[in-house]
Amino acid sequence: MTQSRGKVYLIGAGPGDPGLITVKAKECIQAADVVVYDYLASPFLLNYAGKDAEIIYVGKKGGDHTLTQDKINLLLVDKAREGKNVARLKGGDPFVFGRGGEEAQELLSYGIRYEVIPGVTSAVAAPAYAGIPVTHRDHTSFVSFITGHERPDKKESRMQWDIFAKSDATLVFLMGVKNLSNIVTKLMEHGKPSDTPVALVRWGTTTRQQTVTGTLTTIVDAVKKAELKSPAIIVVGHVVSLRDELAWFDQTPLFGKKIVITRARAQASGLVAELNRLGAQCIEIPTIKIVPPENKKALEAAIDHLDLYDWLVLTSVNGVKFFFDTLFKKGKDVRALGHLKFACIGPVTKERLADYGIISDILPETYQAESVVDAFSSLDMTGKKILLPRAKKARSILPEQLTLMGAMVDEVTAYETRLADEGKDLLVDMLKAGDIDAVTFTSSSTVTNFLTLLEGQNAPALLEGVLLASIGPITSDTIRAKGLKPDIEADAFTIDGLIEALLKHYENALSGVLKK
Ligand code: SAH
């Protein structure tokens, strides 16, 4: 129940890596009626919002505001007055150059209650992910956070350049990229040695992180050459030299690799999270949508007559989900399945089944229909009735082989897969710009649908130099049938196997470069 008057939570959303959110912030997003966010807050965090929460985007990069600060303030006030609890996500920490203080004052002036949830500031976290500790006993005794972009209407500058220049402090400038040449000039004019190390860290803590280093004399050219833009942190001081030794994030095995994920969004999160953890940047272009079947009658009829069956064979997590959804909708529960034996095609399907409290009787050695058939071959299946709820238009080998063993198989459609094409333009643009390193294919339909998205384009030319990663031999055959070549194939036909194959590929490529 919402209170008669709402409350605004000014939340530090952290610097970018969604893992750097605090527990309190996450709980607050989960409970909010309205979530207000801007471009520095990781959109991933919106996944924590409740399904009925209103999500409002209020800001773009430097100057190009979708809503002005005044309008943002009024929005917060209005929503709170409607009695809603508002989670206002702000990049990094709300009170470090985030205008969080101003928002709090504004709320106060309208009598709106608020709380502040501090966050991990980019001023510390971006350097940390670049291997730069902002303090270190051998190098500096203090650290300053400085705006690189004073309010344009300020009459007199508050910048104490002589103090910045004379101290051994680590200077961390935020919002300073456009002003970089002015900053370095001022520091040198006030006596800072021209060989003082400087680093810029863009999109720190995210998989897009980019770092450029130099000295006060060289950094402007280096940044120009690297075409590094905002948002970035500028670090000036001797601690920057520690990066040579301490850079760790850049050395994660897939750092900087841009990898396209083609599986359905609802199923992609595990793969995306693991690839992100390894440093890769995932571009989600779902090629498949999973929807309930148009005709549910067969599945419903089977569920009405579960007592007729001996076995339930599940070939995917979607099959598990849609089977149980329908079971529960019919007012039944797992007790209706007590007499059945179960077979699953792979470990993930088996785990999902276990979530419902059921242990699979059969788990094949490898995760393909052929292996399920092998697993059944030691059993006497004569006269056994098997229920096989799965995708419309699935491969026919499983029912055919089970029938040959004397079983009676009822194949019912539990869900349908459709082409998803929302990501088409992004995909084509990125491929044309040479901005993609690899594409992952987790089933034959991801291959077929992916190539449908490229219809009208010269697909082989666009995919030149792009690593095509396949989850297993059947998916690889589909890639070949389309006139392309799978560059790598997972050993285990699983997502973990696919990640393993990507890692192996890039590690080999790296050691090849190092040997040269
Ligand atoms: N409250 C934020 C800072 C907001 S001011 C915080 O505590 O981090 C906006 C500036 O923050 C940007 O211009 C940039 O200098 C810095 N910034 C924010 N996120 C960043 C990131 N992931 N990498 C590098 N700089 C970042």
Residue nearest to atom 2 of ligand 1 (CA): 92
Atom of ligand 1 nearest to the CA of 123: 8
Question: 372 pLDDT band (50/70/90 cuts)?
Answer: confident
**What would the mean pLDDT of 254-274 be, rounded to a whole number?**
90
Condensed to tens digits (0 to 9), the pLDDT of residues 323-367 reads 999 999 999 999 999 999 999 988 889 999 999 999 999 877 766
Cα–Cα dist 444/165, whole Å? 61
329 an active-site residue?
A: no
Closest-CA residue to 358 (of 366, 367, 349): 349
Residue ranges covered by each domain of the chain: 7-120, 124-251, 258-287+420-515, 291-416
Q: Starting at the edge strand that comes first in sequence, how are the strands of the sheet with 54-59 ordered?
A: 54-59, 34-38, 86-90, 7-12, 113-117
Cα–Cα dist 239/223, whole Å? 19
**What would the mean pLDDT of 450-457 be, rounded to a whole number?**
96
CATH architecture entry for 258-287+420-515:
3-Layer(aba) Sandwich (3.40)
Condensed to tens digits (0 to 9), the pLDDT of residues 135-181 reads 999 999 899 999 998 765 667 788 899 999 999 999 999 999 999 99
Pairing mode, strands 54-59 and 385-391: unpaired
For a ligand 1 pocket test, name from 38, 40, 228 the mutation site with the most ligand atoms within 8 angstroms of its C-beta.
Answer: 40
**CATH 3.40.50.10090: does it fit domain 291-416?**
yes
Residue 284 confidence (pLDDT):
92
Q: Which CATH number fits domain 124-251: 3.30.950.10, 3.40.50.2300, 3.30.1600.10, 3.40.640.10?
A: 3.30.950.10
In this model, does residue 210 exceed pLDDT 90? Answer: yes
Same fold, 124-251 and 291-416: no
**CATH 3.40.1010.10: does it fit domain 7-120?**
yes
Q: Of the residues 93, 175, 257, 384, which is catalytic?
A: 175
Unique residue bearing structure tokens 């309930």: 292
In this model, does residue 3 exceed pLDDT 50? Answer: no
Packing angle of the helix pair 495-515, 265-277 (nearest 10 deg):
30
Unique residue bearing structure tokens 């409350």: 7
Q: What is the DSSP string of 134-187?
A: S-BTTTBS-EEEEESS--TT-SS----HHHHHHS-PEEEEES-GGGHHHHHHHH
Residue 364 falls in which region: left (phi positive, over 0), alpha (psi -120 to 50) or beta: beta
The rounded Å distance from CA 140 to ligand 1 centre is 23
Helix (H) or strand (E) holding 197: strand 197-202
52 an active-site residue?
A: no
60 an active-site residue?
A: yes
Condensed to tens digits (0 to 9), the pLDDT of residues 410-442 reads 999 999 989 999 999 999 999 998 989 999 999
Strand partners, 467: 438
pTM of the model as a whole: 0.78
Residue 2 confidence (pLDDT):
42
Condensed to tens digits (0 to 9), the pLDDT of residues 84-110 reads 999 999 999 999 998 899 999 999 999
Q: Give the burial class of 110: count Cβ atoms within 10 A of its Cβ; 0-12 exposed, 13-18 middle, 19 or more buried.
A: middle
Residue 141 confidence (pLDDT):
86
More confident: 492 or 485: 485
For a ligand 1 pocket test, name from 64, 93, 97, 223 the mutation site with the most ligand atoms within 8 angstroms of its C-beta.
Answer: 97
Question: 377 pLDDT band (50/70/90 cuts)?
Answer: confident
Condensed to tens digits (0 to 9), the pLDDT of residues 230-252 reads 999 999 999 999 999 999 999 89
Condensed to tens digits (0 to 9), the pLDDT of residues 159-172 reads 899 999 999 999 99
Condensed to tens digits (0 to 9), the pLDDT of residues 211-232 reads 999 999 999 999 999 999 999 9
Cα–Cα dist 288/232, whole Å? 36
State phi, psi for 415 to the nearest 5 degrees: -160, 165
Atom of ligand 1 nearest to the CA of 173: 15
Q: Of the residues 7, 17, 33, 38, which is catalytic?
A: 38
